[in-house]
Structure 1
Amino acid sequence: MIERCLMIARFQPLHYGHLRAITYCREIAGEVIIAVGMASQSHTPENPFTAGERIEMIRRTLKWAGLNLNDFITVTIPTLEVSRVSVHYVKLYSPPFTKVVSLNPIIRRLFVEEGYIVLTPPVESRDKLRGSYIRKLMVKGDDWKELVPPPVIEVINEVDGVNRVRMLYRERLPGYYVIDQYVDDYD
């Protein structure tokens, strides 16, 4: 069996930190399973892009980076309540894997408790290479493009993503957590 590494992220949007983690996964395993988390959520302040849009960002970025698409498997994971049961569901939606790469302490703990090898990807500029920070820049009209690969910019432009993000933050939709300082900066 080929050794596989799982990486779970929301990719809202995919940024250079994600790309570095994906390439790290490929360095330590024969195949990488890229799990798009919260795939059933879109058009919310925290999850503005659809699963399909995020998969497109991933696929185009892998090609742009010169990576062999045959080494990567992309799966979607629906929105789950975080608990030990989550690991079971991830296993149902994914081919077998032995390693998990994540910065999320809860995800790390859950997979460790289930006996997986859990590794920390290289971290660079974590303060800026965060989806929430990039979305904040979009809302404020500041430069966000230097934080994401060119194919991600293309996908976001194709779906009018910046205006979508601005609208979602501006509307303050009930039931969704929006960091007020981000919205206040926009007003």
Structure 2
Amino acid sequence: MDENRGLLIGRMQPVHNGHISVIQETLKEVDELIIGIGSAEKSHTDSNPFTGGERILMLTKALREHKIDPSRYYIIPLEDIACNSLWVGHVKMLTPPFCRVYSGNSLVQQLFEEDNMKVVQPPLFNRTIYSGTEVRRRMLNNENWEELLPKSVVNVIKEIKGVERIRKLHKKEVSELVRKK
């Protein structure tokens, strides 16, 4: 096993400048980084509006924009499975071997620690504004969301009409909540 290959998992809904900063910092610690696109099967909901393929496209273009050497990373879509105790094995089956896991998600940390993997909390960059939740909130409220993302990701979101999708999804979820009352 390559002793200096890490795994970083994130939903990246959408890819923002905080993700790029974490990837750049993590690449200072490892020779190669596996970037797992978490919940790859989820899309078209308020908290997961973009498909796995769209997120891979966003990340590929953002890494190129920031001149991150493509020989140093792998982008792998990771689908969730219904059984947490089997999830680590599922991830290991889908990825090249790795010796460290970088995650800010407490469940992910716990599951890999229980599998005796070294887990590292990656640095968080201005988490109050660099979060997918904040980006999506700004999109819904006609606020400046573009400043939080690499230009290439902004272009992908415009190409796929992502803001319009988020607004339609939000209206649909709100109207379903009202109907249930």
Q: Same fold (TM over 0.5)?
A: yes
- Between the aligned partners of 2:45 and 2:88, the Cα distance in structure 1 is 25
Match in the other structure for 1:56: 57
- Between the aligned partners of 2:141 and 2:119, the Cα distance in structure 1 is 36
Alignment of 1:139-158 (within 5 A): 139-158=140-159
Q: CA deviation at 1:79?
A: 2.4
- Between the aligned partners of 2:47 and 2:80, the Cα distance in structure 1 is 13
Question: Are 1:40 and 2:4 counterparts?
Answer: no
1:43-94 superposed Cα distances (whole Å, 9 cap, x missing partner): 1111111111100111111111111111110111112236221111110111
Alignment of 1:123-138 (within 5 A): 123-138=124-139
Q: Give percent identity, aligned residues only.
A: 34
Match in the other structure for 2:87: 86
Match in the other structure for 1:110: 111
1:109-156 superposed Cα distances (whole Å, 9 cap, x missing partner): 111111111111112211111111110110111111111111110110
Partners of 2:22 and 2:125 within 8 A in 1: no
Indicate the SS of the match to 2:129: coil
Match in the other structure for 1:184: none
Change (3 A) 1:46 1:29: same
CA RMSD of aligned residues (A): 1.9
Alignment of 1:3-82 (within 5 A): 3-81=4-82
Match in the other structure for 1:159: 160
Q: CA deviation at 1:26?
A: 1.1
Indicate the SS of the match to 1:28: coil
Amino acid at match of 2:73: F
Amino acid at match of 2:110: R
For normalisation by structure 1, the TM-score amounts to: 0.89
Match in the other structure for 2:120: 119
For normalisation by structure 2, the TM-score amounts to: 0.92
Query: Number of residues paired by the alignment?
Result: 177
- Listed as ranges, the gaps of 5+ residues in structure 2 are none
- Post-superposition, which runs of at least 4 consecutive aligned residues in structure 1 deviate over 6 A? none
Indicate the SS of the match to 1:34: strand
